[in-house]
Amino acid sequence: MQRKVMISCAVTGSADTPGRNPAVPVTPAQIAASAVDAAKAGAAIVHIHVRDPKTTKPSMDGALYREVVERIKASGTDVIINLTTGPGARFNHDPDDARKPSADSTLRSPEDRVRHVVELKPDICSLDMGSLNMGDRVFINTPAHLQTMAIAIRDAGVLPELEVFETGHLLLAKRFLENGFAKSPGLFQICLGISWGQPATPEAMTYMRNLLPAGCVWFAFGISLHQFPMVAQTVLLGGHPRVGMEDNIYLEKGKLAPSNAALVEKAAKIIEILGDQIATPAEARQMLGLTERRA
């Protein structure tokens, strides 16, 4: 049966990608413009990180988030805004003292990590539901910190997107829903292909999907060369795909993506080939229960 499928676009992320693809947006103006173009191409949701315009490195500056949000809203688009809470959790050992974080670690309090969400009250924000060995570093999200963040997000009236990189994250997210830290049945994002989490395979996605709570809305993505195979797999399993330059900077093998909009257009084509339709932002608001909040 034909259904409406939402596309989420993760616009820039925090990886060191601007030097590898000049189309990766960096400044608030670039990020907002790229988000608006992605919406015009079919994205119902845009997932936003911000970067220091001078260094291109990830930033937690609330003023940068505010500028991006205000620019997107001023464009007239109805796209759903999803702000990240991921920065502030990267850890590496100090090479001279393993008891201390290295100079490039970015450890912040849970209150700092959600401050921009509480102030700006976007439609959605991400909440990474556990710790993970991520490449050579550790992505630290302790249950106590996550609980503090989840309660602040809930009290701000923002819908948390529960990001799960492995099954333990998913089980903790379900416990949060049971305990009322987030509203049931939940909005989930299955994150695949990140070292060292669940691989981007049909089997891994199916296993994760089968553990989700009944009635929840779920998205999924694969990084890099797995992005578009996972778009198809997500649609076939009844979910909604995420694409974008946070996860992948190529349109196809050997060809850099010219824009986030191009990645969204390719995802939309896959969805339509599989017989489904692209959900508009208004339709996505209904599917996610955001219509009352907007009114």
How do residues 12-65 score in pLDDT, each as one tens digit?
A: 999 999 999 999 999 999 999 999 999 999 999 999 999 999 999 999 999 999
Give the per-residue pLDDT at 295: 43
Query: Which of 46, 49, 42 is closest to 16 using CA atoms?
Result: 49
Q: Where are the alpha helices (DSSP H) in the chain?
A: 28-41, 62-74, 110-120, 143-155, 167-178, 202-211, 227-236, 260-273, 281-288, 291-294
Domains identified in the chain and CATH numbers: 4-294 (3.20.20.70)
How do residues 184-210 score in pLDDT, each as one tens digit?
A: 999 999 999 998 999 999 999 999 999
Token look-up 């191409």 returns: 41
pLDDT above 70 covers what percent of the chain? Answer: 98
pTM recorded for the entire structure: 0.96
How do residues 203-240 score in pLDDT, each as one tens digit?
A: 999 999 999 999 999 999 999 999 999 999 999 999 99
* Strand 159-164 versus strand 137-139 pairing type: unpaired
Whether the bond between 196 and the residue before it is cis, its omega within 30 degrees of 0, is: yes
Q: What are the residues facing 241 on neighbouring strands?
A: 220
Mean pLDDT on 153-163:
98
How do residues 103-153 score in pLDDT, each as one tens digit?
A: 988 999 999 999 999 999 999 999 999 999 988 889 999 999 999 999 999
Give the per-residue pLDDT at 1: 61
